[in-house]
Each structure stands twice: as C-alpha cells, then as structure tokens.
Structure 1
Amino acid sequence: MDGLLDGRRLSPVQRRIAHYLTENLHDAIFLSSVELAERAGVSQPSVTRFAMVLGFAGYPELKQALRPLVLGERPEAPQESLLRGAIDSEIHNLTVIRDRLATLPLKELGEALAATEPLPVLGLRVSSGLATTFAYYARRIHPDVRLLVHGGSELVDGLHAARRAGAEWVLAVVLPRYPAEAVQALEYAQKLGLRTAVITDRPGFPAEVVLDAPVGDRLVFDSHAAPLALAMALVEAMADAAPLRTQARLEEYERMTDETGVFLSGDAT
C-alpha cells in the first residue's frame, strides 16, 4: 500500500479509505466495494474513484493486485501504523527543506520584510493557522505586523490600508487546498503596488518570491511541519536583518512579561 500511495495527492475521503486498507489489508482484500465503503465510512463510488486514482480500472482490479501480497502470509505483528508513516513523511519533507536551504532566498526576503512597515501577513482558511503563528513571532521583532485572516471586503480593506500606510510587501501563506480568494487577494495587492511573497507547497506559485515546502499528506488532513519550519526560518532572517531593533524589542518584551506576569514561572507545577 505504501508503494501505491507514494506521491499521490488524495482527498480527505480517499485518505480514509487508504487508512482503512493500510490497517486492515488482510481482511479488506475479501471485502466488496460496498463492504469496504461501510467499514471505512465512505460511499461506494468513493471506493471506485480511489481505485482509479491509484491507476486501476476499478476496485476489483485493485483488490486483485493486492491479494498476492498478503495471501498465505498473515503476519502476527500489526503493520507499521499510519501515524508512523505520516511522521516518516514529515521527516522526509523537513530533510528536503534542509537540503535546499542554500537555494532559498531567505536572507534577501528577510531583509525586505524587516524593512517594510507595516507588514501585512495574509492567510485564509487552513493557511490562517500558519499565518497567525508567523505574525505572532514577527510582532516580537517588527513594529507593525498586520494579520489578515478574514476574506471579503475586510481583506481588501486591510491590503489597501497597509499600502496607504507605507507597506511595500505582503507575505501570504497559501497551502492546499488553495483558496481562490487568496490568489485574487495577491493579484489585488500587486495592482496596489505591493510586492508579493508566498509560503506554499509548490514552486511556480504566482508571486514575486516563492518559498515552497512540501506538506504531509498521509493523514486525513494535511500536516504542515515543513512550511512551519520555513516560516520560522524566515522570522529568523528578519531578526538577523535588523539586529539592534530585534534586541531592543525582545528585551522590552521580556520586561513587559515579567512585570505583568504573562507567563508562569519556570518552577510552576
């Protein structure tokens, strides 16, 4: 199953089917498509589409291909868990980023984002989480970070206000599934005269600077370890671009948190 699934981008429904097959392969090869659909909690047509995504004409052909792999040799120990496979996939994704660090424009983009004021950070739907994390840390070292995680006219207003206040760049996080509104917002930002940078999972995204990192797709929903690591590397590059400001702001922040008791003390239980 791992060989069949490797490199495939599956929908959440298809991942449920893949999960069930991976965990119950020795039983699943005797099930009909209707029975498999009931066990996996999906519809029967979804099982057929899943088989076709893997390159088979239908589920009977997929089942026939799987049978020789398991018949006559039922292992006593369970197969490697889906979670272990998902974590292994994320380790691979992080390794890809590590090996590409020298080719990524982190230093140049960090300098540009550190210099622009204000700095709008855009992220819609699932991308809002990573955009929020980036903005949270960037605010510790940058005087004016403006988080835009709501669509519609509010997003347009935010971009327009940032540009009017002097912004030269906008950073967007656009991860799958890619919201059409996020792409439209980047197009509008370019019309306003803003330069665009994007953290995404694919090269060639329509932006001036693209930082691409693969997402994990072994679970029902994507996991974003590699894009998160890339976002934190970009914050680090911003800190390095303005070291005196970074130091002053971090020291001021620590004084504030100490005075107000924002965080628990180190020996709190």
Structure 2
Amino acid sequence: MIDENKKDLLLQIQKNFSKLSKGQKLIAQFIIDNYDKAAFMTASKLGIKVGVSESTVVRFANALGFEGYPELQKALQEIIKTKLTTVQRVEMANEYSNEGAILKKVLKSDMDNIRSTLENIDYEEFQEVIDKIFEAERIYIIGLRSSTAIAEYLGFYLNLILDNVKIVGYGISDIFEQLLRISNKDLVICISYPRYSNRTLEVINHLREEGVPIVGITDSLLSPIANISDYCLTAKSNMVSFVDSLVAPLSLINALIIAVGMRERDEIREYFNKLENIWYKYNIYDRKGNQ
C-alpha cells in the first residue's frame, strides 16, 4: 500500500532533487515533466527514454522510499487518476495498435483488477458492512458521474431484497433535498471512482458532519472518500484510455448483494415467487425459449 505522504509524489521528488545522483536527476526531471507517460512505462523503458540503466531507475525508486519500481509506478498512477483530462486519456490510447490488441489488453487488465481486489479485500470490513445494512432504518445509495451505473445496479437488487433502499442521484430535486430526512439511524453507501466527483465529496462531507454512518466503495484507501467513510471497501479500477474499468467494483457489488440476499433467503424466496407470477402474468420476460 502506498503511504499517505507519497500521495503528492511530484512535490516529494522536487524536494529530494538536490540529493539525487546525476542519472537519478534525469529520471526525476522526466517524471516531473511527463508523469502521465512515466506512469505506464516499465523500469527498462523509462531507463532507455532518459539514457540510464534499469538498475538506476530501481535505485531512484528506493531513494524516494519505495521498495521497488512497481511501487513508484503505482504511486504515479494514483496521481494521474485525478489529474488527467479526458483528452489526455484519449491520447494515451495510441499504444493500442489494433482492435485485437485492445481486446486482449482490456480483458487482461480487468482480470488483474479482480485478482488484486480479491487479494486486498478486508473480509472483516466486508462483514461489518453487511451487518450495518441490516441495522439501518433506511439505506441511501449515492453514486454520481461514472459511478451512477454501479449505484443503480446495487439499488435495483437491494430493492428486491429489502424495502428500505433509496437511490440518490440527479433528478427533479437536488441531492441535498433527497437527503433531507436522513438521520444517524440510517446508512449511506457512497460509490466513488476516478475522476472523483466534487459533488459526491460535498454531500459526503455534509453527511459526515450530521453524524450519518457512511460506507465508501472506491478504488483505493487514498481515494478522497476513504478517510471520510466509517467503513471502506476497495475494488481496483485501472484506467484504460478514457474509460475507467468498473469490472472489479461491479464484482464486489455482486458479492455484497448475494451476501445480503443469503441472510434473507427465506423471505426473498416467497417474495420472488410472487414476482415470478407477476412477471409471467404480464409477460415481462420472453418465454419462447421455455416452451
């Protein structure tokens, strides 16, 4: 995990610049000027680019307090998640030579994201979140911008299991108006992924001041909502050109939904039987394949 004091890595590099060797200064200057490109370069490629050896790149990472170059690279990628514009992200897609390369790279990246999420998930925190969901009088789900899709998905399924779920989002009324009757007996599940929405942060900071319990679902413990949340579940989301991968977050949401459902299995079995009869009566789903 990247330490909090490495969050502003560029400032750290500038402060240590005078202490670096000649070769390390070349690396430092390149990263300061081109951190968006350096974040996706291997140690070997970075060394070739600035004219130093791969071992010099590794020693540079060590000089900044990192165990190795991969840790430095992760820190750089954390920075660009919030600083790159959409136009800059599109320009990064030049590395994709053809559609076949895009398919392989994206699918592999999603597999890596799920693997990393599984390895780093806090199981006790996950269990506590399930407990809080059942303790809450009402559950409010907030996810804006690119996180809206995940919030809607979570809300749709939790609404099939529980009867106290509300999805908060842009609509006729303002977000704060939708939260007007919220209390500390309720629970807010906030989903926030890069590029982080300022509106989300405003709302969560307000709810924090009101003493409302908050569950954050985000990409990293360095995320702006991580420190604000009472409970935080992280699922890896790597940037793929102008699109942020939400595969691992959606997988985490699936696990959350199923865990809640299994506690209510007897109740939802009866409820789903009623739903199936309604769906059949009003021809909600195609039945041709079952005839």
Task: Give me the TM-score of the superposition, normalised by structure 2.
Answer: 0.65
Query: Structure 1: which 5+ runs fail to align?
Result: 24-77
**Alignment match of 2:94 (pick from 3, 15, 20):** 20
Post-superposition CA distance 1:72-123 (Å, at most 9, x none): xxxxxx7961331121111001111222346352222112213323211111
Do the aligned residues in 2 keep the contact of 1:82 with 1:219 (CA within 8 Å)? Answer: no
Q: CA deviation at 1:227?
A: 0.6
In 1, Cα distance between equivalents of 2:288 and 2:182: 39
1:217-256 equivalence runs, <5 A: 217-256=239-278
Distance 1:224 1:249 in 2: 30
Letter in 2 for 1:172: C
Q: Specify the alignment match of 1:175 in structure 2.
A: 193
Report the AA paired with residue 251 of structure 1: N
2-side partners of 1:101 and 1:207: how far apart? Answer: 16
Compared with structure 1, are the counterparts of its residues 201 and 152 closer, same or farther at alpha carbon in structure 2 (3 Å cutoff)? farther
Give, in angstroms, the shift of residue 152 of structure 1: 9.9
Answer whether contact 1:114 1:242 (CA < 8 A) is retained: no
Shift of 1:215: 0.9
Name the CA distance, whole Å, in 1 between partners of 2:246 and 2:105. Answer: 15
2:111 to 88, 91, 101: 91
Which of 114, 134, 139 is the equivalent residue of 1:119? 139
**Partner letter of residue 208 of structure 2?**
Q
Indicate whether 1:197 and 2:215 are aligned: yes
What does residue 257 of structure 1 align with?
Answer: 279
Q: Output the CA distance in 2 between the equivalents of 1:242 and 1:108.
A: 17
Alpha-carbon distance, 1:124 to partner: 1.2
Where do residues 120-135 of structure 1 align in structure 2 (5 Å cutoff)? 120-135=140-155
Letter in 1 for 2:132: A
Helix, strand or coil: the match of 1:138? helix
Q: Higher relative contact order by CA 8 Å / sep ≥ 6: 1 or 2?
A: 1
Residue number in structure 2 paired with 1:155: 175
CA distances 1:114-148 after superposition (whole Å, capped 9, x unpaired): 33232111111111111001101111101121111
Task: Give secondary structure in 2 for the equivalent of 1:244.
Answer: helix
d(CA) in 2 for partners of 1:157, 1:224: 28
Cα RMSD of the aligned pairs, angstroms, is 2.8
Q: Equivalent of 2:204, from 180, 186, 205? A: 186
Amino acid at match of 1:262: I
| Corresponding residue SS for 1:130 | helix
Letter in 2 for 1:175: Y
Change (3 A) 1:140 1:196: same
Q: How far has the Cα of 1:156 moved from its partner? A: 1.0
Quote how far apart the aligned CAs of 1:223 are: 1.7
Aligned partner letter, 1:14: Q
1:69 corresponds to: none
TM-score, normalization by structure 1: 0.69
Distance 1:150 1:177 in 2: 18
**Cα 1:243/1:267, change in 2 over 3 Å:** closer
CA distance in 2: counterparts of 1:152 and 1:267, whole angstroms = 40
